[in-house]
Amino acid sequence: VSIGRDPIEAAVENWRRAGWSEASRGMAAVTSVMRAQQLMLQRVDEVLKPFKLTFARYEVLMLLRFSRTGALPAGKVGERLQVHPASVTNALNRLEDDGFVARVANPRDGRSVLAEITPAGRQVAADASAVVNAKVFEQLPLGDDELDALFDVLRNLRAGWGDIGDGLP
């Protein structure tokens, strides 16, 4: 088997030669995650394209689909998805244009806007999920143990960076 064909392994070599051995593990981990994200996003977006969805919009749609009432304040959406309010506005605009979501006034707070999934939204959410599950999530070239290990390590990373709330108000 060949060595040095992997750009990331090549980078590790460079780091070591530069005397940065201490940081090479972290560099490799970070670079690997960056590249894996790029590949995963490409695959998901490609599969979602026929549905006029992107991963960003798909996530919003699924969040609403799994909510109790099918509607959530825009702010809540950004909070759950850990994304900037401006990104939510953008996603809702496009989802609304395609009739997958409707903006509804929040009866409890005039400042707030509720994003409500429409019947068409529920339909596309179901159809898109079937394909994403079958073509991407169930087709990752990794074993169950590897998938679990990946999740566990990244959960530790997120926890270590305070990204996971401890549930204590």
Partner DNA sequence: AAAGATTGAAGCCTCAATCTTC
Partner DNA sequence: GAAGATTGAGGCTTCAATCTTT
Positions in 2-61 near a second copy (CB under 8 A): 2-8, 11, 14, 18, 20, 22-30, 32-41, 43-44, 55
164 sits near a second copy (criterion: CB under 8 A): yes
Q: Which of 24, 49, 55 has the alpha carbon at shortest distance from 37?
A: 55
φ and ψ of 167, to 5 deg: 80, -5
Which amino acid is present at 59?
E
Out of DNA, a second copy, none, which partner does residue 161 contact, by CB within 5 to 8 A per kind? a second copy
| C-alpha to C-alpha distance for 127 and 123, rounded to whole angstroms | 6
Instruction: Out of 19, 110, 160, 169, name the contact with DNA by CB under 7 A.
Output: 110
Under rule CB under 7 A, which residues in 45-84 are in contact with DNA?
54, 56-57, 73-76, 78, 82-84
Out of a second copy, DNA, none, which partner does residue 87 contact, by CB within 5 to 8 A per kind? DNA
Residue 117's SS3 state is: strand
| Residue 45 vs 116, nearer CB to a second copy | 45
| C-alpha to C-alpha distance for 167 and 122, rounded to whole angstroms | 30
| Residue 62 vs 102, nearer CB to a second copy | 62
Which amino acid is present at 81?
L
Instruction: Please give the full DSSP string across 64-80, using - where no structure is assigned.
Output: HHTSSSSEEEHHHHHHH
CA 62, chain centre distance (Å): 11
| C-alpha to C-alpha distance for 157 and 134, rounded to whole angstroms | 28
Out of DNA, a second copy, none, which partner does residue 36 contact, by CB within 5 to 8 A per kind? a second copy
Question: In terms of residues, how long is the chain?
Answer: 169
**How many residues sit close enough to a second copy to count as binding (CB under 8 A)?**
72
Out of DNA, a second copy, none, which partner does residue 88 contact, by CB within 5 to 8 A per kind? DNA
Instruction: Catalog residues that contact DNA under the rule CB under 7 A.
Output: 38, 54, 56-57, 73-76, 78, 82-94, 103, 106, 109-113
